[in-house]
Amino acid sequence: MSRLIFDAHLDLSMNAIEWNRDLTRPLDEIRQREMHMSDKNDRGKGTVCLPELRKGNVGIVVATQLARYTPSGSALPGWNSPQQAWAMTQAQLAWYREMEALGEMVQITDLAGLDAHLELWKNAAISSEKKPIGYILSLEGADSLVNVSYLQKAYDYGLRAVGLSHFGPGRYAPGTKMQGEVTPLGFELMREMSRLNMILDTTHLTDEGFDQVMDFYEGPIWSSHHNVRKIVPNQRQLNDTQIKKLVDRGAVIGGMLDCWAMDIRFIDRISDPWQLDIRLEHLVDHWDHICQIAGNSHHIAIGSDLDGIFGTEQSPWDLNSIADLQKYEEILERRGYSEEDIDNIFSHNWIRFLRKAWG
């Protein structure tokens, strides 16, 4: 029986609502329906659906809501008002609720729900095809929270993790490819997050914002999908000082499988993973580096970001679907990782983190 995998970053509802993918269907069928579509770069190249999650024993995920507010003058796509962005997140929430109604997914909001779900997935008498995917709801970029009072509304429907920023300018904090500090609204939001004991996701913060968050925020912190700047030297990745701060806080860092975050040679929408020979194993170099800083394997895990506005054209060439995450067992064994290390990376580190955060 394959090991349970916990993937801490998947944009499932974005794919369902904005890409119009029926994630209950087989992957080949989803690709076939997109064969003649050209509105998005990754049409016909998706890697994630609920059947493939089950096939790969990816039984628990952190699933996002994502809707950016775009101020006038920004070149980034997004919504023209926070209210429109909020409405999009509510459409995404409605999709998760529909998946729950079908028995395809189940929301996890506390330790009791986590333990019950883990017991279900351990039960070999039940076929994986009949097991729902457990999901913890996260908000990637806080722009859609019209004001700080909306956080309580979101917490009440099950939101448990928030990242202040995404790409570009943000109402609560600037993000990837930007410089600058957390906004006054961002500090107000962090106070409310701390009151609710929510997880703060450092992914996409600027360097200035990262330092401010680490100094200010009193609640649990993780980094859901982040690689290493020493290997890929751009601002999107974590530098050694940031990694040390995360380790000292007991955080877990999820390795991501977007090729431009794995190999500095890759240029998105131009490069080809096969020509550059970018394989799943490249991520292990990033994990190795974090382990050397931490002195153990307790702070690395999977936050794949698969189908996060890219598909096979921007994923390792030896990955056809998310079920191929199971290939990491053999890769990690070959790289000298122990059985305990592999369990840590596959699921135990995220589970241990949640036990402490929610305990």
Closest CA to 355 of 173, 194, 220, 177: 220
pLDDT of residue 74: 86
Give CA–CA dist 219/235, Å, rounded: 25
With b for 16 or more beta-carbon neighbours within 10 A and e for fewer, the 339-348 pattern comes to eebbbbbbbb
Which residues form the domain of 71? 5-358
Count of domains forming the chain: 1
Q: Would you place residue 352 in the very low, low, confident or very high pLDDT band (cuts 50, 70, 90)?
A: very high
- Contacts of residue 27, Cβ cutoff 8 Å, sequence gap at least 6: 46, 47, 49, 51, 52, 321
Burial of 37 (0-12, 13-18, 19+ CB in 10 A): exposed
The mean pLDDT of 185-202, rounded to a whole number, is 98
pLDDT of 192 above 90: yes
36-67 tens-digit pLDDT: 999 999 999 999 999 999 999 999 999 999 99
Q: Provide the CATH number for the domain around residue 105.
A: 3.20.20.140
DSSP-based three-state secondary structure for 125:
coil
125 with 51: CB under 8 angstroms? no
Per-residue pLDDT at 1 exceeds 90: no
For 218-239, write each residue's pLDDT tens digit.
Answer: 999 999 999 999 999 999 999 9
Tell me the pLDDT of the chain averaged across its residues: 97
